[in-house]
Amino acid sequence: MENVRSSTLPKKYHDAVVRWGQTFLPDYPLLLDNWEKFFPHDKRHELCAYRQMGMCDEIECGTMKGKPKFHKANEMTPELADHLLKAVKAQASTELGSIQQHQLTLARAPEEVDQFWVLRMMAEELRHGYQMFHVLLEDDWAAVSDTKGEDMVEEILQMRTGSHVLGAFNVDFDSFVDNIVFCALIDRVGKYQLAMQKVSAYKPMAESMPPMLQEEAFHLATGVVPIRRWVQSAAKEEGYVGMDHLQKVINKWFPRGLDMFGDERGGGSNVKMGLKPMNNAEAAKQYTEEVQQLVSDLNLRYLRARFPKLSRDEAQERLKRIVEKGDAVEGVGPDNLLRLPHHSFFRRRGIHAYQMIDIDGKKVETLDGFKSHLKSVLPEAYATARDMTKFFELMGKVVHGEVKADDAVHILPNLSRVGGVCPCSRAVRWVVDEPQKSNGH
């Protein structure tokens, strides 16, 4: 990467991230041992923080547009600093939370190359978390916030699946199909968040984004490339991932991806403060359109693999006929292809949160009917998982008027594990103060 500065955290924090990685990313040495085999043309992974130099020095959006960007925390107002710190915390939490999720099913990869692609993605997520820690620790936030960077780093390192900031990172993976679809859909949200924060009024945050975006492109490919292969195999009735199962996993993750953008009515404050160029609704709309394009491309690949004599134009015309008219052509109808769930389906944040809406966007009248519907359109392992149990407990309270839907969105399910990857990890402070050295010794 040209014109990029690299640096490391103070030793005790660098060591804390390394120890965290040894617990939740134990295959990292295996990745480095096989780097040249799978990524012969790419620079080996390095645990450090990158900053893109030479970026715009003026605020690019909002009420302060055109004014100099903030280089130090004490130049900001407490309100702006609070919004920024929440974004940094959420970003760091998602990076580490993703690793904890992927580790659950990493070993179930049917293809070695897919496993190493996901493993590289996990290592880069660790670097992204490291990057956010660098933003927290390089500056002094005392003048504008009661939150200390050191305390926030410790808090994030202690989070587990079930206690992360965003709901998508509190959902267990059931199979390696989750690893791949997660990369294709949830990392795509990450791309949007990073791209928006690239214009941040706080220059250290903006400078952190380009290197992360470059790595995020690989994460999307880690998801999209295998799915393309699976779809083409399914068309030939080969492989092990059918279109029906792939559809159910998409149904699982797409609503969580939309939730990551926040309430559709919000995000305006970040735009006014110059932290992001789009509000939540605008970003979610663009994301939805992009995922729809992905689904259409996958369906087109399915048809061309199923009917190899079709030209691309002929396949596109057939796809349009099947999707828009609902026709079955040579044994392929809408049920054989992928589709995007309605944007109000299975939502936990925003104006559609905790509403009983089916995959087509239609209202379901009873809680039992909604439970039955979700079980029919979600993977079986997920439909009976702890996340769904907690969801239905809260959904029941909303339906019976015990909790308002607007209040339910702020209730994170308590999914903390009894144990973790490391049995002792719950009792360990990750950041350990270095021993004091006596004078003259």
Contact present, 35 and 116 (Cβ < 8 Å)? no
What is the number of helices (H) and of strands (E) in the chain? 16, 2
The CATH number given to 4-426 is 1.10.620.20
110, 176 in Cβ contact below 8 A? yes
Q: Is 419 helix (H, G, I), strand (E, B) or coil?
A: coil
The backbone torsions φ and ψ at residue 364, rounded to the nearest 5 degrees and listed phi first, read -100, 130
This prediction's pTM:
0.92
CA distance 195 to 286: 13
- Map residue 21 onto helix, strand or coil: helix
pLDDT at residue number 165: 78
Q: What is the pLDDT of residue 433?
A: 60
Domain ranges of the chain: 4-426
Look up residue 363 and give its DSSP letter. B
Q: Which two tokens stand for residue 180?
A: 């791949």
CB 125 within 8 A of CB 1: no
**φ, ψ for residue 52 (rounded to 5)?**
-80, 120
What is the spatial distance between Cα 328 and Cα 421, in angstroms, rounded to a whole number? 48
pLDDT of residue 418: 40
What is the sign of the dihedral through the CA atoms of 3, 9, 15 and 21? negative
Tell me how far apart the alpha carbons of residues 242 and 336 are, in angstroms, rounded to a whole number: 10
Mean pLDDT by 10 residues, the chain (441 residues): 90 96 96 97 96 96 97 95 93 93 94 97 97 95 89 90 79 95 96 95 97 96 97 93 97 96 93 96 97 98 96 94 92 95 96 96 96 96 90 94 91 51 48 54 42
Q: What is the pLDDT of residue 434?
A: 57
Task: Report yes or no: 46 and 37 within 8 Å, Cβ to Cβ.
Answer: no
- Cβ pair 374, 346 in contact under 8 A: yes
pLDDT value at residue 206: 97
